[in-house]
Amino acid sequence: MASGRFLSYLRVSTAKQGVSGLGIEAQRAAVDAYLNGGKWKLISEVIEVESGKRNDRPALKDALALCRLHNAVLIVAKLDRLSRNVAFLATLMESGVEFVACDFPTANKLTLHIMAAVAENEASMISKRTIDALTAAKARGVRLGGDRAGMIASQASKGALASAQVRRAAALKRSADLLPVITAIQAEGKSLRQIASVLNERGIRTARGGDWSGAQVLQALQFTEFKNLNR
């Protein structure tokens, strides 16, 4: 049963939600349900229209100042109303203001850190799914507004290039490892097919984890020659 002084902080992400009350009423109801019964006083209610990704939220700063002035507990409907950023949440916990989340009122500071980390990961996954969806839409020829499509394509291109560079570096390293083995077997006068058979008997797999064939041995040798020519 709640007791003491409280200040509620209600946040929505968009101006449309702020004007319509979408989300605010649900948060207010959660706060009211938590405070139902007991000896408590709600000294104020602070509403902010701002993204949870931003750390510079003036209304939240005002709410924290009021809590310190009145020795009140900051109450929120859900932990993510404060922030989905772990570092920012840690700063809040060091601000000297106690706070409680109605969706987990018994949480301690360690629990709050864990919850914030989960919320931050969820936000990251949502962002990734959005980017993947937009990229897929662009691939289907859907015209995307603004400059976001170009930015996504640019980032995807950079990612593909980096991935290709990593794969090439791995291929070069594997080639360097394989060359002495293949040339040593080849020096015994064995054919490409016989070299492949020896590699398989020794448990040496191809880059994709399969068995060697004569054609793959030839490709490995040609790749090494090409690498040496381009040094």
Q: Which of 212, 215, 190 is closest to 202 using CA atoms?
A: 212
Query: What is the number of structural domains in the chain?
Result: 2
> Do 13 and 88 fall within a single domain?
yes
Last residue of a domain, one of 64, 90, 108: 108
- Residue 202 is assigned to a structural domain of this protein: yes
- pLDDT for the residue numbered 54: 65
> Do 174 and 96 fall within a single domain?
no
- Residue 142 is assigned to a structural domain of this protein: no
Compute the distance between CA of residue 9 and CA of residue 23 in angstroms, rounded to an integer.
Answer: 13
Q: Is the dihedral of CA 139, 140, 141, 144 positive or negative?
A: negative
Q: Identify the CATH number of the domain in which residue 41 sits.
A: 3.40.50.1390
Q: E strand or H helix at 124, and its extent?
A: helix 109-139
Amino acid at 178: L
**pLDDT < 50 positions in the chain:** 18-21, 229
- pLDDT for the residue numbered 229: 45
- Residue 19 is assigned to a structural domain of this protein: yes
- Residue 191 is assigned to a structural domain of this protein: yes
- pLDDT for the residue numbered 160: 64
- Residue 151 is assigned to a structural domain of this protein: no
Compute the distance between CA of residue 74 and CA of residue 99 in angstroms, rounded to an integer.
Answer: 4
- pLDDT for the residue numbered 151: 56
- Residue 177 is assigned to a structural domain of this protein: yes
Compute the distance between CA of residue 101 and CA of residue 106 in angstroms, rounded to an integer.
Answer: 9
Q: Which of 159, 162, 169 is closest to 207 using CA atoms?
A: 169
Q: 198: which residues sit within 8 A by CB, 6+ positions away?
A: 185, 190
- Residue 133 is assigned to a structural domain of this protein: no
For 81, the domain range is 4-108
- pLDDT for the residue numbered 116: 66
> Do 99 and 171 fall within a single domain?
no
> Do 103 and 9 fall within a single domain?
yes
Last residue of a domain, one of 108, 132, 156: 108
- pLDDT for the residue numbered 21: 46
> pLDDT tens digits, residue range 165-198?
666 666 666 677 778 888 889 899 989 999 999 8
> Do 103 and 174 fall within a single domain?
no
- Residue 211 is assigned to a structural domain of this protein: yes
- pLDDT for the residue numbered 33: 92
Last residue of a domain, one of 87, 108, 129: 108
